[in-house]
Amino acid sequence: MVTETISTMEKTEVPHVLFFPFPAQGHIKPFLSLAELLSHAGFQATFINTEHNHHRLLHNNDIHNRFPKFQFKSIPDGLPPDHPRSGPLYIRDLFRSSRVSFRPALRELLTSLKEEKGPCQLPKCIIADGIMSFSIDVAEEFEIPTIFFRTYSAHCLWIYFHFSQLIEEGEVPFQDENLDQPISCIPGLENVLRRRDLPRIRRFENADDPMLQFFIRETSVLTRATGLILNTVNEIEGPMITRLGSFFKKVYAIGPLHALKSRINENSSSSSTSSDGILWKEDKKCLKWLDSKPSRSVLYVSFGSLINLSGEQILELLHGLANSEKSFLWVIRPDLIVGDATIGDILKEQETGRMERGLIVSWAPQEEVLSHPAIGGFLTHSGWNSTLESIVAGVPMICWPQISDQQVNSRCVSDIWKVGFDMKDTCDRSIVEKLVRELMDNNREEMMESANKLAMLARDSIKEDGSSCINLEKLIQDIKSMSS
């Protein structure tokens, strides 16, 4: 259906869409995938990055070949040049600086586009990140429709819509230290959530905490938009998507975007690749290492592009992995470890031979790794992109969430979809060893059966008659109607 639209769209009409993601890899990646899909449909794409991330994008990608129809624009992120730009503090500082520097930068950019001639004049639609609500204020000044793209799961967004209610009911802030206390006031999730499963911001001690109130405001503003885009699947998150429909004029569930983009690329003459790197240089030598391993014998370990870990946490994970006696491929970014210790220092202290089953790389082509037949499990931070990529690949997970929506995702993986284990709020070598053995040996068949069923739902959704493909077609047509 989308393929037909791409081939039959009138070439005289070129809708111009401006994409404005929050400046973190977990947000930029799905935004780029969506921009590629709309570019295939004949749209002109202008993509906004911060100057820092644009430099990294140029350094790690041949963007002119990878994104030939894109116009990239960059704006300052408002942070000092020596800011480390990693870890949870980076996100906090970005939230603060975005309120000050991004609004005037977007206004200035739209003013310059308005004065341009040709295909890259003022956009007919802005697709903005759902945690940058100021975008709709600026867009309304220029009378441009806005569609928000929330890069979290539907379950997580539904919980965000109930943070005020959690405060009113006395559920947040917590009255004691019992993190296993059930949360009962969120419709549809009464028998699922515990305190520890709420997004990380739930652990603030004061209901008036600025960051907590920030997210409450950001979520409420979403409903002003023309529509909401979610990188998810109706057949997997249908009940939550239906509930969110009560807040929005239109909801477009068009995930998994990475898989939908790959399928449409296969059916077109596009030269775009499925590279995951974007802001990091990939080490593809690990794929040859995987080629030498038996089927389903390797545990893939990666904690995403943002979180930081202490040397002690790395040691506990390392001992747990080594003691499990399973082969593992571990992504350790150069900026992953806080403090003076390096991974080289930590490895020197280990017994000879403890790492003989493992391979450490600085960044991996994750989609290719997860689809490799040697991979039997994924120890993950439960970021939504990683969760979706693991679901599509049919790989069961051990979830060790740290920030943001990851606590919600890990609960969904373990207790709703039953395709993995939830290891949140602990980092102990004996637990790591136990769960790796459970995932790779003791519960292997049961986990694989559940993972394969979920993978089938995700893969079916991106077929021509699948729900995500149909919803993408609706989005394309609705944006075209804005241009006419």
With a cut of 50, say whether residue 272 has pLDDT above it: no
Residues 328 and 366 grouped into a single domain: yes
With a cut of 50, say whether residue 368 has pLDDT above it: yes
Give every strand in the sheet of 125-129, ordered side by side.
Answer: 70-75, 44-50, 16-20, 125-129, 146-150, 227-230, 251-253
Residues 196 and 292 grouped into a single domain: no
DSSP one-letter code for 182: B
Average pLDDT over residues 31-38: 95
Q: How many other CB atoms are found less than 10 A from the CB of residue 220?
A: 15
Residues 439 and 474 grouped into a single domain: no
Q: Is residue 1 part of a domain?
A: no
Element housing 19 (H / E): strand 16-20
- The pLDDT confidence band at residue 271, using thresholds 50, 70 and 90, is very low
Q: Is residue 5 part of a domain?
A: no
At 83 the pLDDT is: 87
- The pLDDT confidence band at residue 389, using thresholds 50, 70 and 90, is very high
The residue ranking higher by pLDDT, 66 or 3, is: 66
Residues 335 and 233 grouped into a single domain: no
Tokens standing for 442?
Answer: 């003791």
Candidate from 33-37, 168-172, 284-288 with smallest mean pLDDT: 168-172
Specify the pTM: 0.93
Known catalytic residues are 27, 129
Strands 146-150 and 125-129, bridge-based pairing: parallel
- The pLDDT confidence band at residue 274, using thresholds 50, 70 and 90, is very low
Q: What is the mean pLDDT of the chain?
A: 90
At 408 the pLDDT is: 97
**Alpha-carbon 387 to chain mean position:** 8
Give residue 228's domain range. Answer: 13-277+461-483
At 4 the pLDDT is: 43
Element housing 422 (H / E): strand 420-422
At 353 the pLDDT is: 54
Residues 467 and 441 grouped into a single domain: no
Residues 353 and 268 grouped into a single domain: no
Q: Is residue 384 part of a domain?
A: yes
With a cut of 50, say whether residue 48 has pLDDT above it: yes
Q: Are 1 and 465 in contact (CB under 8 A)?
A: yes
Q: Is residue 397 part of a domain?
A: yes
Residues 294 and 199 grouped into a single domain: no
Q: Are 398 and 439 in contact (CB under 8 A)?
A: yes
In angstroms, the CA 458 to CA 253 distance is 12
Average pLDDT over residues 120-132: 91
Tokens standing for 68?
Answer: 């030939």
Average pLDDT over residues 431-457: 95
Residues 49 and 170 grouped into a single domain: yes
For residue 335, what is the domain's CATH number? 3.40.50.2000
Average pLDDT over residues 442-456: 94
User: Which residues contact residue 150 at a Cβ distance below 8 angstroms, ignoring those fewer than 6 apart?
Assistant: 129, 130, 131, 157, 222, 228, 229, 230
- The pLDDT confidence band at residue 8, using thresholds 50, 70 and 90, is very low
- The pLDDT confidence band at residue 315, using thresholds 50, 70 and 90, is very high
Residues 204 and 339 grouped into a single domain: no
In angstroms, the CA 118 to CA 16 distance is 11
Residues 218 and 272 grouped into a single domain: yes
At 5 the pLDDT is: 42
Candidate from 187-201, 254-268, 350-364 with smallest mean pLDDT: 350-364
- The residue count for the chain: 484
Q: Is residue 8 part of a domain?
A: no
Task: Tell me which range, 74-78, 189-193, 391-395, 442-446, is most confidently predicted by mean pLDDT.
Answer: 391-395
Residues 477 and 449 grouped into a single domain: no
Strand ranges, E, within 21-156: 44-50, 70-75, 125-129, 146-150
What is the total count of domains within the chain? Answer: 2
Residues 246 and 300 grouped into a single domain: no
Which residue is associated with the tokens 């009378």?
143
Percent of the chain having pLDDT more than 90? 69
In angstroms, the CA 484 to CA 480 distance is 7
Q: Is residue 7 part of a domain?
A: no
Average pLDDT over residues 247-265: 94
In angstroms, the CA 469 to CA 323 distance is 44
Element housing 376 (H / E): strand 375-380
Candidate from 55-64, 248-257, 328-337, 426-435 with smallest mean pLDDT: 55-64
Q: Is residue 44 part of a domain?
A: yes
In angstroms, the CA 183 to CA 408 distance is 12
